[in-house]
């Protein structure tokens, strides 16, 4: 029954997705028929506009450039329904729901069903909604984060993050520079050294989103290991900004400047600190004020805007949006209406976050893995496999720099938690290709590394983190209950 | 304190809104400075992309066409914060919150702050989110609607709707045709008769969204009058589709076809009936199935998708999206998880619906009312004032066709409930201008009619509906509580 519905939906979406513009174009025709009269191009589309229950007067606008609302609705429906059905399937086979959402994205992506387009107006809208989704996710993680606990694990997180960046970089660079597996033609004017540095850099990324979501799905956010992982992942995002800036400089043929590197680093770290300190000073007053407001939904809207504002300011300041959203969550975890905020933001997160994970999955070109397919290349798969090994052990070993003291820590869990490269890895790889540093073959091999590390992390985390009795009763504000 | 924050925010938005593209362009520069090296155009924007925590690999895309996420976030923040602050202010002075949201739109619109742009990529995204907002609003109204009660008031609603369309049309046509206040040059090839028909047609619209929201704000949805108004407004949307098709045909120089008119009507009405019948057959089974799913947020997401699906199907079938969303609500009001759906959908509505009302307000050109301003024209104001009177009494009198039996009905309340033209009126007027039927002056006069009827309805409804003691204890699922 569920599958039948799914197939039917897939068919409908298959209709709506790629042919969105066509459907748009046909709407006026329908009306022309209905009026059984020659309706001019000037008038007819507006009838279609009305049929779509327009909310603004500028529909001349979206009729030319913007997607038609009905087609947009169908794409959103496809994303959410597939995300939930695949997420449910994943949980039924004992996997985290996020794995199902990534697979849903794979299926809906341009390389399979094409329901989630890679370019065009709908792609842009989905992209923006995905940004809201990841921001709200990190906001929720921040809400669950106790600053004191973060400081307690701060040193451990920093150690894991730094080693988790140095090891993969060194190993990746060494492999590429000495073993020289160069696949595809070496782009003009790019030395083997630069390519090697770049390959190393792409191995350093960590996707806090994937791991955080898995830990939430598995109800393990309260574990010491989880706090270390989240802290390390956030630090990795900061380091990622620095590495990305440096690598981009190299891509542009720039010579490195210690000042420039230091500055990028300072801005990224500084924002997080300043945001949390200032936030903690302002938020309590602000939310006492909001508590006196009576209009519907004011608390939720305020929290939602608070998260988006911090995210936007972080980006404007040259830091990462998710760092800002995470900071916003940490700040609001200390206000009086905390419980209500957690309760109210959850349904909003339920709508937006799947859009992010489906988007990540949709960016994958399945053709890479299909023997005989146009994009298939055995050599690429081999090199990709080697990069996967380097990427995996580089982060896994990073987990072993902590937990040597009296406290017993699950080092494998910490290491595995750092493995997924996710969307950050995709971005790293994409710069290299667009800057002409990576041949298409090298790009594909890196892409395989990103995909595999992203998809194996959820099931592996489930294995290395063996839920203990005390996890069951533990507080799980944002995870847990079916609806 | 609240105002200070508001002013500060306004400043920030003033920065972000109109200059969004510039901000976008400057992001890479920032990074270039950070790396203290000549970063190539190819690489730099991606760093900005990373700074924005990209969720997809196709950011080459949105760097060229799409809005930058941070600027988009700031626009959303501006819309929601202004909506809540003005909504709160409205309630403090005893007005419905939606009036405040319309005013917030007025302030944020292109004619004042320009935070909510009238065109461009961000305008398109906001437009799509507004569509989601009005769909969710009508879905909530549908959830509160008891089908049996609707049938009980069905005859009354139909009477009010039909008279509310015939009266304003006749009066508007007569005024224009005989008094002939033609302002501005008569467009070529357009007879005075066609203009008169068109002016009459624009007077027939009803915005169910505005009235429904006001009745919810005032906690009056349970009143018999409210049910008649909602029913009549929905019927008006159906009639609106027919009128719009006919008028568009005229605009295209078509001769009317009874068949065409009948067909449009049948599709619009047919969809509503079929959707509710089929929905009632499928929904209970579907939601029993969903009840057995364990993945987070599955019930909310299912209900959300159900509403969007009905809305999209309605549009594809040539009916109005809001009719589909309303039908979806009616259907789900009979499933077991009804209470949970109402509770879970509310926060989602709190985020999306204000975007719709702010968008409606943002479509208004304030310049029309500023003496000495470039768009100011006294003759237009006079004709506009006359149209306001016609529009107001045309709908008010429609309320008097019911309640003559034993049951005591507040006829003024019913009539006033039909007065706001809202976004439907804006669309009607816009067709006329773009089809070359209305001179700019006539268009402006009609726009004034739409604006005034939309803005006076909320306060007037508050006056004519005197809340009685039994309203206080009455069930108000989606309205009411501050957060």
- Indicate if A59 and A173 belong to the same structural domain: no
Closest-approach residue (CA) in chain B for A242: B35
Report how far residue A377's alpha carbon sits from residue A370's, in angstroms, rounded to the nearest whole number: 9
- Indicate if B348 and B431 belong to the same structural domain: yes
- Indicate if B172 and B76 belong to the same structural domain: no
Please give the structure tokens belonging to residue A385: 């496999």
Report how far residue B422's alpha carbon sits from residue B400's, in angstroms, rounded to the nearest whole number: 22
CB contact under 8 A, B42 and A298: no
- Indicate if B60 and B92 belong to the same structural domain: yes
Residues 83-112 of A with CB under 8 A from B: 83-84, 87-88, 91, 97, 100
Query: Is the separation of the CB atoms in A248 and A194 below 8 Å?
Result: no
- Residue A480: left if φ>0, alpha if ψ -120 to 50, beta else—which one? left
Query: Is the separation of the CB atoms in A295 and B482 below 8 Å?
Result: yes
Q: How far is B175 from chain A (nearest CA, A)?
A: 25
Query: Is the separation of the CB atoms in A50 and B318 below 8 Å?
Result: no
**What is the domain range of residue A85?**
2-124
Name which of A38, A51, A305 is nearest B319 (Cβ-Cβ). Answer: A51
CB contact under 8 A, A66 and B363: no
Q: In this structure, is residue A343 part of a structural domain?
A: yes
Query: Which of A124, A147, A178 marks a domain boundary?
Result: A124
- Indicate if A64 and A150 belong to the same structural domain: no
Chain B contact set for A338 (CB, 8 A): none
Chain A contact set for B477 (CB, 8 A): none
Instruction: List CB contacts of A464: < 8 A, sequence separation 6 or more.
Output: A410, A412, A413, A416
Chain A contact set for B450 (CB, 8 A): none
Residue B86 phi/psi, 5° resolution? -70, -35
Name which of B131, B135, B251 is nearest A40 (Cβ-Cβ). Answer: B251
In Å, how far are A7, A462, B388 from A108, measured between CA atoms?
12, 25, 50
- Indicate if A19 and A79 belong to the same structural domain: yes
CA A136, A138, A140, A142 dihedral sign is: negative
Q: In this structure, is residue B483 part of a structural domain?
A: no
- Indicate if B193 and B48 belong to the same structural domain: no
- Indicate if B174 and B323 belong to the same structural domain: yes
- Indicate if A112 and A155 belong to the same structural domain: no
A1-6 — which CB contacts under 8 Å span 24+ positions?
A1/B285, A1/B289, A2/A85, A2/B289, A5/B286, A6/A81, A6/A82, A6/A85
- Give the count of alpha carbons within 13 A of B361, CB side only: 30
Rg of chain A (C-alpha set): 24
A316 touches chain B (CB under 8 A): yes
Q: In this structure, is residue A480 part of a structural domain?
A: no
Residues 321-350 of A with CB under 8 A from B: 321-322, 337, 340, 344-350
- Indicate if B276 and B346 belong to the same structural domain: yes
CATH of the domain at A413: 1.20.1530.20
Report how far residue A226's alpha carbon sits from residue A228's, in angstroms, rounded to the nearest whole number: 5
Instruction: List CB contacts of B28: < 8 A, sequence separation 6 or more.
Output: B39, B41, B44, B45, B47, B48
- Interface confidence, given as ipTM, is 0.77
Query: Is the separation of the CB atoms in A87 and A80 below 8 Å?
Result: no
Please give the structure tokens belonging to residue B453: 């009827």
A257 touches chain B (CB under 8 A): yes
Report how far residue A94's alpha carbon sits from residue A462's, in angstroms, rounded to the nearest whole number: 8
Please give the structure tokens belonging to residue A377: 């290349």
CB contact under 8 A, B312 and A217: no
Q: A26 falls in which pLDDT band (50, 70, 90)?
A: very low
Query: Which of B124, B146, B168 marks a domain boundary?
Result: B124
Name residue, tokens 């006069």.
Answer: B445
- Indicate if B40 and B86 belong to the same structural domain: yes
Chain B contact set for A5 (CB, 8 A): 286
Chain A contact set for B125 (CB, 8 A): 124-125, 128
Residue A231 has pLDDT above 70, yes or no: yes
CB contact under 8 A, B80 and A301: yes
* Residue to test with chain B: of A50, A83, A255, most B Cβ within 10 A: A50
B45 touches chain A (CB under 8 A): no
Name residue, tokens 């799409």.
Answer: B66
Chain A contact set for B100 (CB, 8 A): 295
Higher pLDDT, A188 or A285: A285
* Residue to test with chain A: of B28, B137, B290, B297, most A Cβ within 10 A: B297
B311 touches chain A (CB under 8 A): yes
List, as one string, the DSSP characters of B228-267.
HHHHHHHHHHHHHHHHHHHHHHHHTTPPP-HHHHHHHHHH
- Indicate if A261 and A114 belong to the same structural domain: no
**pLDDT for the residue numbered A255:** 60
Residue of B104, B67, B68, B63 whose CA lies nearest to B83: B104
Higher pLDDT, A71 or A194: A71
Comparing A205-219, A246-260, B166-180, the range with the smallest average pLDDT is: A246-260
Name which of B100, B118, B429 is nearest A58 (Cβ-Cβ). Answer: B118
Residue of B83, B67, B52 whose CA lies nearest to B352: B83
H-type alpha helices, A93-181: 97-108, 121-144, 147-174
CA A154, A463, A475, A300 dihedral sign is: positive
How many domains is chain A built from?
2
List, as one string, the DSSP characters of B298-358.
HHHHHHHHHHHHHHHHHHHTTS-HHHHHHHHHHHHTTSTTHHHHHHHHHHHHHHHHHHHHH
Q: Model-level pTM?
A: 0.77
A423 touches chain B (CB under 8 A): yes
Report how far residue B50's alpha carbon sits from residue A321's, in angstroms, rounded to the nearest whole number: 9
Q: In this structure, is residue B129 part of a structural domain?
A: no
Chain A contact set for B3 (CB, 8 A): none
| pLDDT by residue, tens only, chain B of 483 residues | 444 445 455 444 444 443 333 333 333 333 333 333 333 333 333 333 333 333 333 333 334 446 789 999 999 999 999 999 999 998 888 777 888 888 899 899 888 898 998 888 899 999 999 999 989 988 988 887 777 777 778 888 889 999 999 999 999 999 998 888 877 777 777 778 888 888 898 899 888 778 888 888 888 888 888 888 888 888 887 787 677 667 766 666 556 667 777 777 787 778 888 998 999 999 999 999 999 998 889 999 999 999 999 999 988 887 778 888 988 998 998 888 899 999 999 999 999 999 988 988 887 778 877 888 777 888 888 999 999 999 999 999 988 888 777 667 888 888 898 998 877 777 777 777 777 788 878 888 888 898 889 888 888 888 888 765 555 555 544 443 444
* Chain mean position to CA B63: 31
Query: Which of B68, B102, B124 marks a domain boundary?
Result: B124
B381 touches chain A (CB under 8 A): no
Residue B116 phi/psi, 5° resolution? -100, 100
Residue A401 has pLDDT above 60, yes or no: yes
């Amino acid at each position: 029954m569920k599958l039948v519905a799914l197939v039917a939906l897939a068919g409908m979406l298959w209709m709506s997705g790629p042919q969105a513009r066509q459907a748009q174009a046909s709407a006026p025709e329908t009306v022309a028929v209905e009026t059984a009269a020659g309706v001019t191009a000037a008038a007819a589309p507006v009838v279609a506009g009305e049929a779509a229950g327009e909310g603004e007067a500028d529909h001349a606008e979206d009729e030319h450039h913007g997607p038609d609302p009905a087609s947009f609705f169908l794409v959103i429906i496809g994303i959410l329904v597939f995300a939930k059905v695949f997420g449910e399937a994943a949980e039924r086979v004992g996997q985290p729901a996020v794995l199902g959402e990534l697979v849903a994205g794979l299926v809906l992506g341009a390389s399979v069903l094409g329901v989630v387009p890679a370019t065009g107006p709908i792609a842009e809208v989905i992209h923006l909604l995905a940004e809201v989704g990841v921001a709200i996710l990190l906001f929720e993680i921040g809400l669950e984060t106790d600053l004191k606990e973060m400081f307690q694990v701060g040193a451990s997180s920093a150690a894991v993050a730094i080693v988790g960046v140095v090891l993969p970089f060194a190993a990746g660079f060494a492999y590429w520079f000495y073993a020289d597996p160069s696949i595809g033609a070496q782009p003009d004017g790019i030395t083997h050294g630069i390519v090697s540095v770049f390959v190393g850099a792409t191995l350093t990324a960590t996707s806090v989103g994937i791991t955080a979501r898995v830990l939430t799905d598995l109800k393990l956010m309260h574990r010491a290991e989880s706090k270390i992982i989240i802290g390390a992942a956030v630090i990795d995002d900061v380091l990622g900004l620095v590495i990305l800036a440096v690598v981009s400089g190299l891509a542009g043929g720039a010579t490195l400047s210690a000042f420039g590197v230091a500055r990028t680093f300072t801005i990224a770290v500084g924002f997080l600190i300043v945001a949390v300190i200032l936030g903690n000073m302002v938020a309590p007053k602000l939310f006492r004020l909001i508590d006196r407001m009576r209009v519907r939904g004011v608390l939720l809207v305020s929290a939602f805007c608070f998260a988006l504002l911090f995210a936007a300011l972080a980006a404007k300041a040259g830091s990462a949006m998710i760092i800002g959203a995470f900071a916003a969550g940490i700040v609001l975890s200390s206000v009086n209406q905390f419980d209500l905020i957690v309760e109210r933001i959850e349904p909003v997160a339920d709508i937006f976050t799947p859009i992010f994970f489906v988007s990540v999955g949709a960016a994958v070109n399945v053709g890479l893995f299909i023997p005989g397919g146009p994009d298939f290349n055995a050599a690429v798969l081999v090199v990709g496999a080697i990069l996967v090994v380097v990427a995996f052990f580089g982060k896994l070993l990073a987990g072993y720099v902590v937990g040597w003291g009296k406290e017993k820590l699950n080092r494998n869990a910490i290491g595995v938690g750092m493995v997924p490269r996710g969307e950050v890895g995709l971005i790293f790889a994409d710069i290299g290709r667009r800057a002409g540093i990576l041949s298409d073959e090298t790009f594909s091999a890196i892409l395989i590394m990103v995909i595999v590390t992203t998809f194996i992390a959820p099931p592996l985390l489930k294995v290395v983190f063996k839920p203990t009795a005390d996890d069951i009763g533990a507080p799980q504000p944002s995870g847990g209950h079916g609806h």
